[in-house]
Chain A
Amino acid sequence: MTAVLTLVEHGDGRADRLSLEALAFADRLAGSRGAEVHAALVGPGAAEAAGGLGGLGVATAHVIDDDRLDAYAPAAWAAGLIDLIAAEPFAAVVAPGSERGTEVLAHVAARTGGAMAANVVDVQTGERWKVTRQRWAGSLLEEAWLDGTPRLMTVAAHAVAALEPAPDATAPTIASRTPTLTDEDLRVRVTGHVAAATDRVSLTDAKVVVGGGRGIGSPEGFAMLEDLAALLGGAVGVSRVATSLGWRPHADQIGQTGARIAPDLYIACGISGAIQHIVGCKAAKRILVINTDPDAPIFGRAAYAVIGDVHAVVPAIAAEIRRVRGS
């Protein structure tokens, strides 16, 4: 059986979280077929990160090395993978379902003329491979045949748990390659970075998120949510309607076309709970709903609920927090 190749993204000399998930996915896939897992790493720090893959089931780590790969260039990364695929047979190439993993694999698919399945959650191998993949950001699943030599797929974020390194870790064999890059491969590359403003808690990191939707009624209505979020050390998020109406900036949006949050508590205020919003907040440990309509779909996702008008309930909760804190 030929091996499964996994694209591993890394920073500070370590594989990142979605790549560890992709390795776990590849490990399961290869294990079911008695095959090896190989890793491919590109860019500065790749050799160090490859050395750190011991105990993660990786037999060989291919370090794709070239001075011109120092700045991220999607087509050049793809050229590096294509060069490797041409040199060694692989049953499948698995990439993390990240911005870069998805983009690089799509370039590989386009240039090799192969099919690609994005956001796969499960594979059944056999004469033909049957993949289960996400549509509608996971609100719907698709079963499909995925053919190709190799088969190309990205792994949906959080579809599998990241691998924990085994204690008897032996480092993988490191194999270095220098691909032949053309000027065309380097036409698009990262030419700079801009740091985000860090004066507030980011939605994706917040332990508490206070969300508002159509029921807030106006841009001014969000002041009470800001107040509650500040009391709880959390962040304010919104449903798509609040950004489409221009009430709040798009950066605040939770959902399919916005942020995916995973707080300990998500307080959803005046939000009905369309599936596009649910996919953005379903990783919250608990959801507290404040809504006048007890039939709103979001109640089906909630641990706690208050039936009532957000304009009365939210300020009352803020006042109660202040009271118990004695201020």
Chain B
Amino acid sequence: MRILACIKRVPATGGRITLTADERDIDTRFLGFAVSPHEECAVEEAVRLAEAHGGETAVLTLGPDAAADQLRDALAIGVDRAILLETDGSDWDPGATASAIADAIRSLEAADGPFDLILFGNESADSGGYQVGIRVAVALGRPVVTGAKALEVGDGRVTARRQAAGGWEVLEAPLPAVVSVREGINLPRYPSVPGRLRARKKEIERIVPERRSLGPELIRLVVPEEVTASAEILGTGPEAAPRVVEVMRELGIL
């Protein structure tokens, strides 16, 4: 089976976000980058499915030259090939991203045959548009399941589970299909040292994508006002316990 995982490079934020002077981007001068969490799981799922059913895996991203780092992270855990839709690093809207990815998939499939399964993250950690996977599926005329936290493939079908009120709902689709996954579907492995060395030597295939912007059209980013509290210090060390329990009583928790 042939599986493609589509990923996004995102800044590894943790503290308060600061913006560039034009307010159109996050100031990443002091930040590292990572694969967006849901998509890290999409890559792991692709590798696991190929291990279980045999076949080939590929990883694709739309982003700047530096996004080759995130593609190499995927190659390092066993993905066979990597494709970069190289941009200048500016923010592409979800429609433009999806049409560029759909174009690339069409040309990859024309050369090497269809992907049975195309995996996405349910939403990117940074822009959170919640639509690229669905747009790509619709453009390719394929069924799409979103939000998957468990996946099984067999008999030409994919069966996914996702969280719903009171438990899980099960959705099915015939292959070839598109599935977007959520973190928790698996625990991504760490790359081995030989894996990293292998990844460093592999060639990254590059495509120059066409940008067809659709909107929403970014005006500016805004860091929301932070509601900071001034915490009441109840004490230091285990001696604080009686005061903590007193507060719990005042709050009606005990």
A297-312 CB contact bits vs B (8 Å, 1 = yes)?
A: 1011111111111001
Which B residues are closer than 8 A to A by beta carbons? 13-17, 26, 37-38, 93-95, 98, 123, 125-131, 134-135, 137-139, 141, 143-147, 159, 161-174, 177, 182-184, 187, 214-224, 226-229, 231-242, 244-245, 247-248, 251-254
Report the bound CA distance from A313 to B242 in whole Å: 11
Which A residues are closer than 8 A to B by beta carbons? 11, 72, 74-75, 99, 102-103, 106-107, 109-111, 113-119, 130-148, 154, 184, 187-196, 207-208, 232, 240, 243-244, 246, 250-251, 253, 256-258, 264-265, 274-276, 286-289, 297, 299-309, 312-313, 315-317, 319-321, 324
Closest A-B pairs by Cβ, 4 of them: A250-B184, A115-B215, A316-B238, A144-B216
- Which B residues are CB-close (under 8 A) to A264? 251-253
Whether B168 pairs with A193 at a CB distance below 8 angstroms is yes
Partner of A193, one of B14, B128, B170: B170
- Which A residues are CB-close (under 8 A) to B166? 193, 195-196
Report the bound CA distance from A116 to B62 in whole Å: 20
A-B contacts, 18 of them at CB < 8 A, read A110-B134, A111-B138, A116-B129, A137-B128, A143-B220, A143-B221, A194-B161, A195-B167, A196-B168, A232-B248, A253-B183, A257-B37, A258-B184, A306-B235, A312-B237, A313-B237, A313-B240, A321-B248
Partner of A274, one of B15, B128, B234, B238: B15
Whether B253 pairs with A304 at a CB distance below 8 angstroms is no
Determine how close the nearest CB of chain B comes to the CB of A105; give it in whole angstroms. Answer: 8
Whether B139 pairs with A110 at a CB distance below 8 angstroms is yes
Whether B128 pairs with A119 at a CB distance below 8 angstroms is yes
Whether A106 pairs with B131 at a CB distance below 8 angstroms is yes
Report the bound CA distance from A152 to B142 in whole Å: 22
Whether A103 pairs with B146 at a CB distance below 8 angstroms is yes
Whether B215 pairs with A148 at a CB distance below 8 angstroms is yes
Whether B219 pairs with A302 at a CB distance below 8 angstroms is no
Given A189-B171, A313-B240, A319-B241: A256 touches B184 (CB 8 Å cut-off): no
- Which A residues are CB-close (under 8 A) to B229? 287, 300-303
Whether B131 pairs with A275 at a CB distance below 8 angstroms is no
- Which B residues are CB-close (under 8 A) to A113? 214
- Known: A103-B134, A118-B129, A315-B238; 15 extra A-B contacts, CB below 8 A, are A99-B147, A110-B131, A110-B137, A132-B222, A133-B216, A144-B219, A145-B217, A232-B254, A274-B14, A276-B125, A305-B232, A313-B238, A316-B239, A316-B241, A320-B245
Whether A115 pairs with B95 at a CB distance below 8 angstroms is yes
- Which B residues are CB-close (under 8 A) to A107? 134, 138
Given A194-B161, A319-B241: A305 touches B233 (CB 8 Å cut-off): yes
Determine how close the nearest CB of chain A comes to the CB of B223; give it in whole angstroms. Answer: 6
Whether B125 pairs with A136 at a CB distance below 8 angstroms is yes
